[in-house]
């Protein structure tokens, strides 16, 4: 028996991972207690995902458990032990805004849970690669100090700038403002690295930009493109928070991200970090995303503006994914913005 243990198995990354590894013939053990419903209400509820996964995949086992609970996690690890061949830790509290309101819950969910999983990996399956979903928010607002130029629909960099083709792993995480969410993820990110260096586990942090796809239960406080498309199609309006809607995000489809996981699993490295996202191929401003939705739906979408931006929010962020591509040259990106948005529109209309 080859087991893949996935936390947050009903979230976007977890569900896409579950689907992928089940179809590869692995037994998948999912740990998810639908905390997104607590965080985001009905918009974030993942019950529908859980039902679909359990109905479709006989090799999927679900544990309705909280990753903060060490003893419950230990029972799962003790049951499967060295049958666990891969761990994907994608459970998280993912919102800037909520982290400020519930900082203790945010820290326990993002930081304490990660230590729990690392310790249990060390104890029961130390040869298993450990994939951690980190975030580009570990860089705080350092990207905002780049010499950005305001264009008609987006902020941008001059061609000669070091980061013109995206922000790489050399950017500092220090001397800047972070959201409390960014801080809790930094702790987890660094812990994952150090369990690679100090303990010898095969660990990797994927510092992701915006991850998206039709399996995303996008909510107002989390899930940029998913929530944007949902708002446009159901409410015919969208609220833009800060930066005139010209802030730039890169967008990676969840299936492209899971292919990153697969490539890493086949050839794991220790204490590695990768900036991962849509990169040059797939990025857009909020205004450009709204324009694409309008183009593909013929809807007249109303825009509401909030002048004040969120703390630690990025004005311009595009991931430089060259390091990962160099280490894993067989990985290929298949989705750009247009393809992603078209798929999101179709999935929402089908519902």
Residue 283 pLDDT: 96
User: Residue 149 in 3-state DSSP?
Assistant: strand
Each domain of the chain, given as residue ranges in start order, spans 3-350
The number of beta carbons lying within 10 Å of the beta carbon of residue 332 is 9
Q: What does the DSSP 8-state code read for residue 18?
A: H
Residue 347 pLDDT: 87
Q: What angle do CA 136, 139, 144 make, to 5 degrees?
A: 100
Q: How far apart are CA 230 and CA 185, in angstroms?
A: 27
Q: Indicate the pTM of the whole model.
A: 0.94
Regions in the chain scoring below 50 on pLDDT: none
Neighbouring C-alpha atoms within 13 Å toward the C-beta of 36:
30
Task: List helix spans (H) across 141-285.
Answer: 180-194, 224-234, 254-266
Q: What residues have CB less than 8 Å from 282, skipping those under 6 apart?
A: 250, 251, 252, 253, 333, 335, 336, 337, 340
**Model pLDDT for residues 316-346, shown as the tens digit of each residue:** 999 999 999 999 999 999 999 999 999 999 9
Q: How far apart are CA 280 and CA 149, in angstroms?
A: 17
CATH class of 3-350: alpha beta
Neighbouring C-alpha atoms within 13 Å toward the C-beta of 267:
9
Q: Are 33 and 77 in contact (CB under 8 A)?
A: no
Residue 33 pLDDT: 92
Q: Are 160 and 235 in contact (CB under 8 A)?
A: no
- Give percent of the chain with pLDDT exceeding 70: 97
């Amino acid at each position: 028996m080859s087991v893949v243990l996935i936390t947050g198995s009903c979230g976007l990354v977890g569900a896409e991972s579950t689907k992928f590894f089940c179809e590869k013939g692995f037994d998948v053990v999912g740990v998810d207690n639908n905390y997104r419903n607590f965080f985001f209400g009905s918009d974030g509820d993942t019950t529908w995902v859980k039902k679909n996964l359990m109905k479709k995949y006989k090799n999927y086992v679900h544990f309705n458990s909280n990753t903060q609970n060490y003893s419950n996690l230990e029972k799962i690890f003790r049951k499967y032990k060295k049958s666990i061949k891969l761990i994907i830790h994608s459970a998280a509290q993912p919102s800037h805004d909520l982290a400020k309101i519930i900082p203790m819950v945010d820290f326990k969910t993002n930081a304490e849970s990660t230590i729990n999983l690392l310790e249990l990996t060390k104890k029961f399956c130390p040869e298993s690669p450990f994939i951690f979903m980190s975030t580009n928010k570990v860089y705080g607002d350092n990207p905002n100090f780049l010499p950005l130029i305001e264009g008609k629909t987006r902020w941008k960099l001059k061609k000669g700038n070091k980061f013109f083709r995206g922000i790489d792993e050399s950017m500092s995480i220090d001397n800047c403002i972070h959201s409390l969410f960014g801080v809790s993820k930094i702790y987890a990110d660094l812990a994952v690295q150090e369990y690679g260096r100090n303990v010898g586990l095969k660990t990797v942090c994927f510092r992701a930009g915006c991850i998206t796809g039709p399996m995303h239960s996008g909510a107002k406080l989390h899930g940029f493109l998913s929530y944007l498309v949902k708002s446009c199609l159901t409410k015919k309006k969208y609220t833009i928070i800060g930066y005139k809607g010209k802030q730039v995000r890169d967008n990676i489809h969840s299936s492209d991200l899971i292919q990153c996981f697969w490539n890493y699993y086949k050839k794991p490295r220790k204490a590695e970090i990768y900036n991962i996202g849509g990169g040059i191929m797939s990025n857009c401003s909020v205004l450009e995303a709204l324009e694409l939705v309008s183009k593909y739906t013929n809807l007249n979408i109303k825009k509401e503006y909030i002048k004040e931006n969120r703390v630690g929010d990025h004005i311009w962020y595009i991931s430089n994914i060259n390091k990962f591509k160099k280490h894993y040259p067989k990985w290929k990106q298949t989705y750009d913005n247009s393809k992603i948005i078209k798929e999101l529109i179709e999935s929402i209309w089908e519902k």
